[in-house]
Structure 1
Amino acid sequence: MPGLAPVATVSRLLSFQGRYGLELSEWLPMSTTDSIILAGPAVERIKPVEVELRPGRRRAIVTTVLVGGDLFFSGIAGVVPWLLTGWPPLTDWLGPSTPVPIPPVGVVLILAVFGLYSSYGPSPPERLRLRVLGVCIYAISCLLVVSAQGPSARGVAEIAVVSALLVVIGFYGESALRSALIRWRLWGALTVIVGTDTAGRSLADTLLAQPELGFRPVGFLAERGQEPVRIEGLPILGMIDEMPAVPVEVLLFSSCATLALYDGKGAGGAPAPRTVLAQQIHELQNMWVQVQPLGSAIGLEIRRELYRPRNLALKRVIDCTFAGLGLIVAIPVIAILAVTIRSLDPGSPFYVQIRVGRHGRPIRVLKLRTMYSDAERRLHAHLESCPAAREEWQRFFKLSADPRILPKVGHFIRRTSLDELPQLWNVLCGDMSLVGPRPFPAYHMDGFDPDFRALRTSVPPGLTGLWQISSRSDGDLHVQRSQDTYYIRNWSPWLDLYILMGTVSAVLGAKGAR
Structure 2
Amino acid sequence: MKNEIAKIPWWKRPFDIFFSTLAITLTFPLMVAIAIIIKLTDGGCVLFVQERPGLNGKLFKLYKFRTMYPDNEKILTEFLTKNPEAAKEWKIYRKLRGYDPRVTSIGKFLRKTSLDELPQFFNILKGDMSVVGPRPYILNEFKEYKIPESLVKKLLSVKPGITGLWQVEGRNQMTFKERIQLDLKYIENLSFINDIKIIMKTIKVMFTGKGAY
For 1:31-110, what aligned pairs fall within 5 Å after superposition?
Answer: none
Instruction: Choose which of 422, 427, 435 in structure 1 pairs with 2:119.
Output: 422
Mapped pair 1:338 → 2:35 = yes
Q: Is the Cα–Cα contact under 8 Å of residues 416 and 510 in structure 1 kept in the other structure?
A: yes
| Greater RCO, 1 or 2 (C-alpha within 8 Å, sep 6+) | 2
Distance 2:42 2:70 in 1: 7
Distance 1:445 1:436 in 2: 17
For 1:198-277, what aligned pairs fall within 5 Å after superposition?
Answer: none
- Structure 1, unaligned runs of 5 or more: 1-282, 286-303
For 1:57-456, what aligned pairs fall within 5 Å after superposition?
Answer: 283-284=1-2, 306-307=6-7, 311=9, 313-400=10-97, 401-407=99-105, 409-446=106-143, 447=145, 448-456=147-155
- Structure 2, unaligned runs of 5 or more: none
Offset at residue 284 of structure 1 (A):
3.8
Distance 1:386 1:353 in 2: 27
State the secondary structure of the residue aligned to 1:342: helix
Offset at residue 305 of structure 1 (A):
10
Q: Is the Cα–Cα contact under 8 Å of residues 305 and 492 in structure 1 kept in the other structure?
A: no
Tell me the amino acid that sits aligned with residue 202 of structure 2. Answer: T
Q: Is the Cα–Cα contact under 8 Å of residues 305 and 491 in structure 1 kept in the other structure?
A: no
Offset at residue 454 of structure 1 (A):
1.1
Distance 2:141 2:119 in 1: 22
Q: Is the Cα–Cα contact under 8 Å of residues 306 and 492 in structure 1 kept in the other structure?
A: no
State the secondary structure of the residue aligned to 2:140: helix
Distance 1:371 1:482 in 2: 28
Q: Is the Cα–Cα contact under 8 Å of residues 345 and 373 in structure 1 kept in the other structure?
A: no
Relative to the length of structure 1, the TM-score reads 0.40
Q: Is the Cα–Cα contact under 8 Å of residues 371 and 405 in structure 1 kept in the other structure?
A: yes
Deviations 1:26-84 (A, max 9, x none): xxxxxxxxxxxxxxxxxxxxxxxxxxxxxxxxxxxxxxxxxxxxxxxxxxxxxxxxxxx
Distance 1:445 1:342 in 2: 34
Distance 2:88 2:104 in 1: 23
* Runs of 4+ residues deviating >6 angstroms: none
Distance 1:445 1:305 in 2: 18
Mapped pair 1:469 → 2:132 = no
Offset at residue 349 of structure 1 (A):
1.1
What is the match of residue 157 of structure 2? 458
Deviations 1:444-464 (A, max 9, x none): 233233222111001111110
Distance 1:485 1:322 in 2: 24
Distance 2:111 2:178 in 1: 21
State the secondary structure of the residue aligned to 1:483: helix
State the secondary structure of the residue aligned to 1:404: coil
State the secondary structure of the residue aligned to 1:307: coil
Distance 1:305 1:397 in 2: 27
Distance 1:417 1:381 in 2: 27
Mapped pair 1:494 → 2:197 = no
State the secondary structure of the residue aligned to 2:68: coil
Change (3 A) 1:306 1:454: closer
Distance 1:318 1:511 in 2: 27
What is the match of residue 207 of structure 2? 508
Relative to the length of structure 2, the TM-score reads 0.94
Distance 1:471 1:478 in 2: 13
The aligned length equals 210
Distance 1:390 1:344 in 2: 29
